[in-house]
Chain A
Amino acid sequence: MDSGLSPQDKKDLDKFIKFFALKTVQVIVQARLGEKICTRSSSSPTGSDWFNLAIKDIPEVTHEAKKALAGQLPGIGRSMCVEISLKTSEGDSMELETWCLEMNEKCDKDIKVSYTVYNRLSVLLKSLLAITRVTPAYKLSRKQGHDYVILYRIYFGEVQLSGLGEGFQTVRVGVVGTPVGTVTLSCAYRTNLAFMSNRQFERSAPIMGIIVDHFVDPPCSSQLCVCLSRAPDEEDGGPFAGVQDSQEVCTTSFSTSPPSQVRGHTPSLLFTVFLYPLTSSLPFSNLGDDDGLSQSGEGRRDEGRRSVSPSDPVESLNAFTRKIGAFVNKPSTQITATSMDLPFAAFAPRGLDSEENDPMVQPPDSPPCPSPLQASLHSQGSEGSGPQDDFVMVDFRPAFSKDDLLPMDLGTFYREFQNPPQLASLSLHISSQSMADDLDSLPEKLAVYEKNIDEFDAFVDMLQ
């Protein structure tokens, strides 16, 4: 409805809304670049500072915005939206927030376009500057870099909020009434930042930190993906180089009397920045998940992805133990490791059937030989692979360890590293050499110490 709106006012209003849309996108995108923004105040107007605010124009953003708007203006039913999303280095992505510039039918016929609407749009931009630092995506965007980047996408038309997950919140930045409708700026942001996508449950969980992430290509691969973490100083010099058309001069003259002096052209700033929202899942979110361990005898879902090749005897033991389910109720079948060439085969967990022969469980009627402990003491030099009969098989259960036979459980670790090799510096011939040197220099050292005995006494007194 243009009743009462002069052609000049209508033209100005369209111009204001176009530039407002442009600046809105710039503010939002720049706030998600991950850097602190700083622009200078200037007491003399330059003619390209729309809404009397120093907001840089990044040319790529301008270009994308113009593409999305394609000559149209945000209007009733046609909203301009900027979508911010996060993409991890693995390729997963997640929508974080959607900023919407909408127009509704509520008109304010009496408002002065060239003055009041302009100033209120300026205040709304300032509010946008403040609010963009408050939503959760700001902190995420400041930390972007190696693990993830922040992307943006601009679209025009219907607002799409389905990608924000459940329980998303909305914050209203502000409204400005105009004779043709009320401009509303708001942000819907995701609150559930847990990176659990549906896809995760279809994959089998990796074991012990082996992350297998074979994702299919995201559905909207045809869309342009624009990365925000690019440094903004790629543009041509000067803070306002982005304003391309020479006639895009903003209204800077105001009048305390009824508007008469306002002149300007009709710049059309269309901003479409194409964001590429991707649903993502955090790396390592599957650590510690035992469901992947398949039951013995059943097909191992992740077999093809595991790269275990039992080259090491210990590995082979581990490979065998992997067959057993983590939380299986029946007692775990102990594997006799003596058949493998293990260094501490005698100490490997023995099968249940060995309990019958376990002297500790069923002590022999008469101890014909010295007790096993004594036997082990005498043979301390040996590496423990002596005849098993001399040793009593005691199930080695280290304190606080789980008995689930996962590879590298505490017991295995302890057994493996129980007898580490000798330190080179402690080996006999080297140590004896240094010992001899020490003994030779001893008299000299003693003489020196005796000379300085007063100093030492003073030091000791000081300490007391």
Chain B
Amino acid sequence: MNCRSEVLEVTVEARQVEEAMLALLHTILLHRSTGKFHYKKEGTYSIGTVGTLDFDCDFIDFTFVRVSSEELDRVIRKAVSEFKDALGNSGSDGMGQISLEFYQKKKSRWPFSDECIPWEVWSIKVNVVNLANEQERQICREKVGEKLGEKVINVVEVINRHEYLPKMPTQSEVDNVFDTSLKDVQPYLYKITFQITDSLGTSVSTTMRRLIKDTLAL
């Protein structure tokens, strides 16, 4: 099965990184979360209700809608915070990428571990800039708000193509498709990873890989 891959790119100021990432990740997760499944007899199930919440950004002229689930928000915030710290520590020319990957688990026989097969990957490329004065920051506030609006429209456009979605699972299979660990909502199984690009344009991970390869080649 082919994995659908979408790339979004944003240019923000350092203090806007967190909210910009939250905005985009939450918008995607809003569309990729359902209510909790309650399985009943005869193979039927009912679905709980997903609430929504408006969030006003402090550093960006933007409001986004997220799923009304504090647990989910905590998880996403933690991931974004790690990404932000990594970006900050990388140096002044902050460039990085955070990826939200939706996957399905495929149970394999022992001794092989379960396979994770991604079916949709969203990559958000971030470019951090430093601004000189307050006026530029004010303009940046508005501009980034508009850009995020465009990105939300892009996300919605992709999602509404209604391309591949995992089949609705039976009760025994539900954990292979959905993340059932949360109390109030049920997103598709996802994972968030990130990588930081240093100022030379190469990502840190590729540099490490190259180093190891070179060492082994000797």
| A contact residues vs B (CB 8 Å cutoff) | 36-46, 49, 52-54, 115, 120, 122-124, 126-127, 129-131, 133-134, 138-139, 142, 171-176, 252-257, 261
Contact = CB atoms under 8 A, between A and B. Distances in A.
A254 B44 contact: yes
B31 A39 contact: no
B139 to A, nearest CB: 16
A130 B44 contact: no
Interface centre among B38, B44, B52, B64, by most A CB within 10 Å?
A: B52
B53 A43 contact: no
B156 A174 contact: yes
B52 A54 contact: yes
A272 B38 CA distance: 35
Interface stretch (B8-16, B65-73, B82-90, B209-217): B65-73
Given A38-B53, A253-B46, A256-B43, A130 B156 contact: yes
Given A36-B56, A130-B65, A256-B168, A41 B156 contact: no
A20 to B, nearest CB: 14
Interface stretch (B109-117, B120-128, B157-165, B188-196): B157-165
A134 B160 contact: no
A68 to B, nearest CB: 25
A139 B62 CA distance: 9
Nearest to A138: B63
B51 interface: yes
A42 B44 contact: no
A176 B159 CA distance: 11
A232 to B, nearest CB: 14
B118 interface: no
B156 A44 contact: no
A36 B57 CA distance: 12
B170 A256 contact: yes
23 contacts: A37-B53, A41-B67, A42-B35, A45-B47, A49-B49, A52-B47, A53-B49, A54-B68, A124-B160, A126-B52, A129-B30, A130-B30, A133-B64, A133-B65, A134-B152, A171-B153, A173-B156, A174-B159, A176-B162, A253-B40, A254-B45, A256-B44, A257-B43
Contact of A133 (B43, B50, B54): B54
Given A54-B52, A131-B153, A252-B47, A41 B61 contact: no
Shortest 4 CB-CB distances between A and B: which pairs? A174-B160, A39-B51, A36-B54, A134-B149
A126 B31 contact: yes
A164 B35 CA distance: 38
A257 B168 CA distance: 10
Given A54-B52, A133-B54, A257-B43, A123 B67 contact: no
B91 interface: no
A38 B68 CA distance: 7
Contact of A120 (B38, B53, B162): B162
B114 to A, nearest CB: 21
A45 B30 contact: no
Contacts of B61: 139
A119 B44 CA distance: 15
Contacts of B159: 123, 127, 174
Given A49-B49, A133-B64, A43 B35 contact: yes
B152 A130 contact: yes
A44 B63 contact: no
A114 to B, nearest CB: 11
A311 B94 CA distance: 69
B51 A252 contact: no
Nearest to B61: A139
Contacts of B30: 126, 129-130
Contacts of B136: none
A123 B188 CA distance: 14
A142 B57 CA distance: 14
Contacts of A172: 157, 160
Given A133-B54, A173-B156, A254-B47, A39 B63 contact: no
Interface centre among B31, B49, B56, B156, by most A CB within 10 Å?
A: B49
Nearest to A120: B162
B184 interface: yes
B42 interface: yes
B140 interface: no
A137 B50 CA distance: 26
B43 A252 contact: no
Contacts of A138: 63
A129 B156 CA distance: 11
B153 A134 contact: yes
A122 to B, nearest CB: 8
Contact of A52 (B40, B49, B56, B68): B49
